[in-house]
Structure 1
Amino acid sequence: MQYSTKKCILTYSGAIMFAFGFGIMLDGIFYRTTGATSGAVLNSAGNAVVKSVPHWCGLLLILLGARNFTFGIAQWKYGVNCCGGGACEVLFVNLMALIVSLAAVGLAILGSWDVLNNASASSIGSVPDFTYLISIWFMSLMCAILALMSMCAGCLPVGEPQEEEEIEMQQYGHDNPQFSKY
């Protein structure tokens, strides 16, 4: 893998994870304040805790996404070989992002279990919980996919610098004498 490719993957996945974390956090605020309760699953205090989890997961995804973003713009090479050069830190941060995003999905489902069980196709659209659940599920699952992609990018070794220069020369036509100004 080229160094520039790894930088792009980590930078863009961090930026998107940051944005989705912000969206999850805002949806978590509104999701927590909706009136539906799931007394059959949890008591009201437990329901309040479970329904506040997406808000805190969104906040953590903002922080983990920002750290992932800084991996991409770092000046030194993360993951020069599979077990060194910062690959373990990339893996740890993205493993935490994966766990946090899947926790947001799972606990959002648990918090609205009664709403989902008692819903019909005609009535589910009018339930505010369902609208927030769909957005939390989508953004959390996208963050999980980005975390997996970044973990894979962190594990792949970076090629030698001279290989990157040769590829760049070929890419921009500098090895062709017809286009060379030098």
Structure 2
Amino acid sequence: MRGGTVAVVGGSIAGCAFASAAARAGAERVVVFERTGGRMADRGVGLCVHDERASELAAMGTLPAGIPTHRLTRRRWVVRDGSASPAGKLFWEQPFPFHSYHWGLLWRGLREATPASVVYRQGVTVTSVARDGAGAGGRAELVLSGPADATGDLERHDLVVGADGYRSVVRD
């Protein structure tokens, strides 16, 4: 992408990763809208990335080096077999070449690696997204709420990316 403005709705893992990629690809302006104000809460879960995808993402600069991971090599499927063994019976084992990341560590690493040119607006909620013109030449119009200086504001962007989770205002 060369030029143009990009709005990323959602500033978590996918939002930070896409914002970084758009900035590196040459977007004129990238703005991330994250509805959470203050510190993002750790989710306490692990996210797994296949070894080959992790290498590709690192080579592209999307996945910064130095984020702690737990290397996984095998996945085991265990079933209860009625014996006294609490481990049960191994039913199936398969290769599992993945890196497991803690949500909070992965998000912080991606956030810290987001280029300084990206505007990251925390505490601002996008309440609706619509096309502001007819045809392919129209831009996307975002309606914002949040701090007094943002409530009811309209912003127009050439591209809007929904990284705002399962209750996405962008998909609606």
TM-score by length of 1: 0.23
Choose 1 or 2 for highest CA Rg: 1
Which structure has greater helix proportion? Answer: 1
TM-score by length of 2: 0.24
Which structure has greater strand proportion? Answer: 2
